[in-house]
Amino acid sequence: MIIEQLSGVRLVITLSQDDMKGFALDYTNIFFEDETFKKVLRRLIKLAQERVSISIKNKTLFVEAIERLGGCILVITVLPKRGSSGRRYRLKYSNCPVMFSFENTDSLTDCMAQLYKNGFRLLRGEIFSTQDGYKFIVRPCQSRISRVLGVLSEYSVGKTENEIKIAEVREHGRPLASGLPVMKIGSVFAVK
């Protein structure tokens, strides 16, 4: 189990497949009405309070669950009190997707592992297999775009924002991963 503090109001708890078995959890029974999940969540929050500096006690929480290789990632956000204006955040995405080309599986998996280690685990995108290698299509978040593009450019052999080329790969390429490919692939190849 990994507990990480992302900000003053958000933390991430990563549960491995073994952790899920230890807590007698299955991703399909993770919903707030489930008594087992409620007990496990209380226990996890108690553990988190010992390890991070977020004040969670007697606060309203927003819990998101993301399936990961038989395990689960819980993103817990402390919500502002009712009636307080609180800060609102909006994710800004670039106008168009960017496609990176990789010659072989080694360069692709090394890149995914590096993105995973650098904290870009929730980066959304699609990976395709084509005749000339692998393509990773991504819409990086504006606030972190330079860091993401820097890591991707280090491992890729080419980059394009040409919408026609991207559409061609989506139409003719063989899809390998979509959604959260860094989470799916990077976690397997990242050496701790």
Query: Residues in the chain with pLDDT < 70?
Result: 27-33, 82-95, 140-145, 192
DSSP 94: -
Q: Where are the alpha helices (DSSP H) in the chain?
A: 17-22, 35-51, 105-117, 145-155, 163-172, 181, 187-189
* Boundaries of every domain in the chain: 2-78, 98-189
Dihedral sign from CA coordinates of 45, 73, 79, 7: positive
Residues 94 and 145: beta-carbon distance below 8 Å: yes
Q: Structurally, what CATH architecture does the domain formed by 98-189 represent?
A: 2-Layer Sandwich (3.30)
Specify the pLDDT at position 179: 86
CB atoms within 10 A of CB 1: 15
Give the C-alpha separation, 167 to 69, whole Å.
29
Burial of 99 (0-12, 13-18, 19+ CB in 10 A): buried
Specify the pLDDT at position 151: 86
Specify the pLDDT at position 95: 56
